[in-house]
Amino acid sequence: MAESMTVGKYLIHRLRERGLKHVFGIPGDYVLNFYDMLSRSPLRVIGTCTEAGAGFAADAYARVNGLGALCVTYCVGGLSALNAVAGAYAEKSPLIVISGAPGMRERIRSPLLHHRVKDFNTQRLIFEQVTVASAALEDPARAPGQIDETIAACLRTKRPVYLELPRDMVDRPCARPAPLPSAPVPSDPATLREAVGEAAAMLCAARRPVILAGVEVHRFGLQDMLLRLVERSGYPVAATLLGKSVISERHPQYLGVYEGAMGRDEVRKAVEQADCLLILGEFMTDIDLGIFTANLDVSRTINANSERIAIRHHQFEEITLRDFLRGLIAAPIDRCRRAPPVPPAPPKPFHAQPGRKMTVRRFFARMNDFLEDEFAVISDVGDSLFGAADLVIHRRTEFISPAYYTSMGFGVPAAVGAQIGRPRLRPVVFVGDGAFQMTGQELSTVVKYGLNPIIFVLNNKGYTTERFLKDGPYNDIHDWAYHKWPELLRAGWGCEVRTEGDLEAALAQARGNAAGFSLINVHLDPLDRSDALDRLASRLAKSAGLLKGSRRRPRRRRA
């Protein structure tokens, strides 16, 4: 006799069908029934130290796995995770948020239940602002359809959704699952033919075409198609900061990261001087555009994303990005190329000067030689991100950062989600001291699940970006002995780095410490910063009228 189906079992069944193997979160009384059901299912529950940490970890898991799930209790749990979910929404990361809620029967008997804010709909209404679909599973007859529709919206848009599960609904009987739809909604054929034809004609007429790849290539799993298009067309390809590592950065046609005036000049010129710029899967953010220092002429662009295709000023809708890419790959654009791509010069070999004081610029120069194929780079925001922008990532989708929403505290919990989602990769994490102080306790989760990231805390005793916008004592933070965390957790290994010689010794030790995490406390001058942050800070300060309040940058020796 077939096992009876309940609302909770139905939800677990659909999560597994969609490829999920893990759920991140923290239990609470309103979700304990569902947690108990999860613990008896093939899904593995990954418990973190905070709900925010669970949200960041689930987001990173979604970025490498194609879908993530977060399970928390009502209001005190859900609202603690809200910022992480907002970041996933802003950066198109497909995340299913499951929240417990008071039972339907107890709402009648005792309306003043703990964790309630205003009324029983408050949390759902708040999450509606940072998700593309939401449902309260309050009726067992409707719950299967609500679950299916909500998860489908998550996968279709690559953005978070919200499911609220009252605790007395978990074991309520419901209908059994029907077969999942076998294929996504196709593009309109006539519109697709016209768009591909117009784009191909524009590319064939160009003498200096360039491809600019964005974050949706990651989110929609289009990396193989991008690679085929790049190699068949022969066009050079650049990436945006949020799209970094959409293609191996060792590929001979790869130019680098385009960030407007923030990025390397040779990449900026190649993109901005292209007479046809094919933009794939990008949504234009101020960070990706170098705080609006980008100089892109719409009359020379083909801008294709998941919402529409724009060729010059001509708009096409009802076309999927996948179908448009497939059409371009089949079009005869390879015979139209006029100019061969010019690959960037490889990074110069790094030669350590043992007694030399460590600087941001020299640190990231050394990281290019340190990275290996089995590493995934995870960067928190601030100079950790801007300094890492020019690192050469060996494979695809192995650079993860909150490069648009730019929420501090992403890096350490993201290492948890990324390594659990893709165990063959060892995370290398760059995180500022301010960001580490927000979520560094997730090292406890790292230890609990036997993970082994290498974490570099860029320690300059404060908030670097803000110092160069408007300096003040509010930008200074208390200096922790970050390298002592292994003593607190009774696991892992840590050390301090003050010179280039210290760094060489630390890298050798960390590489060999595969049994647990390594935490390297890199001491930096409070006024030191990367070249990219120098350009960004100057631009931001001018636009915000804050430049006169910033400190002067110290002189540095030539590398």
Angle of helix 360-370 versus helix 500-512 axis, rounded to 10:
30
**Residue 558: what pLDDT?**
37
Residue 434 has pLDDT above 90, yes or no: yes
**Residue 250: what pLDDT?**
87
Given 3-state DSSP classes, what are the helix, strand and coil percentages for the chain, each rounded to the nearest 5?
40, 15, 45
Q: Tens of pLDDT along 375-397?
A: 999 999 988 998 898 888 877 66
**Residue 90: what pLDDT?**
94
| Cβ burial, residue 15 (10 Å; 0-12/13-18/19+) | buried
**Dist CA 231 CA 104 (whole Å):** 57
**Dist CA 149 CA 146 (whole Å):** 5
pLDDT (average), residues 322-336: 89
The encoded tokens of residue 387 equal 């300094």
SS (H, E, C) 305-359: CCCCEEECCEEECCCCHHHHHHHHHHCCHHHHCCCCCCCCCCCCCCCCCCCCECC
- Is the backbone of residue 484 left (phi > 0), alpha (psi -120 to 50) or beta? alpha
**Dist CA 507 CA 40 (whole Å):** 41
For each of the domains in the chain, give its residue range(s) and CATH number, in order of start. 7-166 (3.40.50.970), 189-336 (3.40.50.1220), 360-549 (3.40.50.970)
Q: How far is CA 1 from the centre of its chain?
A: 45
Q: How confident is the model at residue 293 (pLDDT cuts 50, 70, 90)?
A: low
Q: What is the DSSP letter of 5?
A: P
Q: How confident is the model at residue 305 (pLDDT cuts 50, 70, 90)?
A: very high
**Residue 344: what pLDDT?**
62
Q: How confident is the model at residue 550 (pLDDT cuts 50, 70, 90)?
A: very low
CB-based contacts of 351, cutoff 8 Å, min separation 6: none
Kindly state the percentage of the chain with pLDDT values over 90.
69
Q: Assign 96 to helix, strand or coil.
A: strand
**C-alpha neighbours within 13 Å on the C-beta side of residue 358:** 24
**Residue 552: what pLDDT?**
44
Integer angstrom CA distances of residue 481 from 83, 409, 461, 519: 28, 18, 11, 11
**Dist CA 394 CA 374 (whole Å):** 9
Please, what is the end-to-end C-alpha distance for the chain in angstroms?
A: 73
Question: What's the pTM value of the predicted model, to 2 decimals?
Answer: 0.91
Integer angstrom CA distances of residue 78 from 34, 83, 104, 145, 174: 15, 10, 19, 23, 26
**Residue 492: what pLDDT?**
97
Among 54-68, 335-349, 458-472, the range scoring the smallest mean pLDDT is 335-349
> Which of the given ranges, 112-121, 166-175, 232-241, has the highest pLDDT on average?
166-175
